Amino acid sequence: MIRLLCNRFRLFSSLCFALFCCVPAIAQFRVEVSGVGLTQVPITVAPFKGQSTSSAKISEIVQADLERSGQFRPVPAMQAGLDEVSLPDLSVFRRAGSDAIVSGSVSTLADGRVDVRFRLWDVVKGQDLGGQSFAVNAADARLAAHRVADYVYEKLTGDKGAFSTRIAYVTKSGSRYQLWVADSDGENAQSALASPEPIISPAWSPDGNQLAYVSFESRKPVIYVHNVSTGKRRLIANFKGSNSAPAWSPDGKTLAVTLSRDGGSQLFLLSAAGGEPRRLIQSSSIDTEPVFTPDGKQIYFVSDRGGSPQIYRVGAGGQGVERVTFSGSYNISPSVSHDGRWLAYISRVGGAFKLHLMDAASGSVRVLSDTSADESPSFAPNSKLVVYATQVQGREALMTTTLDGKVKARLTGQSGDIREPNWGPFLN
């Protein structure tokens, strides 16, 4: 079924391949679509029956999620009053150019919980693709919407959706810094930490329960591991000098960190339980920004050993350093996709810092952004989107982009300067 749909989309895309498709930005969700050869499923997300009384407009959240993924194009609903039990007149939707319909309802249960139900229809095949219901606390209505989007995404693309995941980021407002945990669209942010001193480099533990980060609260950079559900913090690296750039091993047992305790900025491995760090590699240059590959066997890092900052790779046991980036004189902040296929990083081009993507197997590189102050890329757990920090009209902002760079969205949520995004794992 999915294969059939895909074939149809390929046909659709090849038909419009020669055309320059430029769908106008949808201001409401700040999703920008550009470029040629886009393969997008035209989909109708009908307003959910009963959602007007709910604070979270389920269908709008679902549609925004699907649009942000770059895989879908919205088609307005041609029939009102649909819910998960209606039989939509598919011919009407087919004529409107829709390939799929999501319809559903929102109701409040006697105990105050919200019941979100939906059904997905394949308009082309005239087939019911199933549905679900989520009875959730009213505060979690947005989460239910993200779960709906995950279901639709997986049914229609064959890949797991990553909408019901979390992103950590940092805001700066005056001299106040806050570390937030938000939905994958940047909304519903909850403050995990507030501090009068900078917070940088948050990194989710593989189980999604803890954040490691660098805090300057004691007038020097030290590394904490912070349990987000209890708020309990552990100081795990406070050695003489600077302690920074924490990165989790895939098994969650080890952190790679940058320490200057023995002189210079050097890479060490540290048990997540704390204790004595052991040196990963020794050099007379700057070595920093370590990040494990998903199999845990290698560590990417940044070093200026060749005279300018470049990305290198080393075995997790410290053996076999090899250079990874060769073009440009400033390549930093590597992030490896969870499927191991891609390396996102920031490269200076002229005077601009731009998000780049390397195919790990072939080494071929493309530029993903048209902004000039990009920082801190981080992959969605399904490896289909990258979140990164940049500047838009002089303010710090968070953006997501598809891996072809054609669909970008600005994450809403906190006002003020917003930075240091890190996309968390799938939550079960």
If one asks whether residue 189 binds another protein (CB under 8 A), the answer comes out as yes
CB under 8 Å to 175, separation ≥6 — which residues?
A: 196
* Region class of 157: left (phi > 0), else alpha (psi between -120 and 50), else beta: alpha
Stretch of residues binding another protein (CB under 8 A), selected from 28-36, 59-67, 268-276, 282-290: 282-290
What would you report as the CA-atom Rg of the chain, rounded to the nearest whole angstrom? 23
- Of 14, 28, 127, 229, the residue at the interface with another protein (CB under 8 A) is 229
Nearer to another protein, 9 or 388 (CB): 388
Query: Smallest distance, Å, CB 166 to another protein?
Result: 8
Asked if 346 and 374 count as a contact pair (C-beta separation under 8 A), the reply is yes
- Of 75, 123, 144, 387, the residue at the interface with another protein (CB under 8 A) is 144
CA dihedral 136, 140, 141, 142 (to 10 degrees): -150
Instruction: Return the residues of window 68-107 that contact another protein according to CB under 8 A.
Output: 84
If one asks whether residue 244 binds another protein (CB under 8 A), the answer comes out as yes
Nearer to another protein, 38 or 136 (CB): 136
Within its chain, how far is the Cα of 16 from the centroid?
29
Query: Smallest distance, Å, CB 117 to another protein?
Result: 6
Stretch of residues binding another protein (CB under 8 A), selected from 134-142, 274-282, 311-319, 336-344: 134-142
If one asks whether residue 353 binds another protein (CB under 8 A), the answer comes out as yes
Stretch of residues binding another protein (CB under 8 A), selected from 44-52, 61-69, 140-148, 154-162: 140-148
If one asks whether residue 427 binds another protein (CB under 8 A), the answer comes out as yes
Nearer to another protein, 9 or 169 (CB): 169
Nearer to another protein, 217 or 404 (CB): 217
Q: Which amino acid does the sequence have at 111?
A: D
Instruction: Return the residues of window 387-426 that contact another protein according to CB under 8 A.
Output: 420
Instruction: Return the residues of window 300-319 that contact another protein according to CB under 8 A.
Output: 302, 309
Binding mask 196-225 for another protein (x = CB under 8 A): xxx-xx------------xxxxxxxx----
Cβ-count burial 92-107 (b if 16+ within 10 Å, e if not): ebeeeebbbbbbbbbb
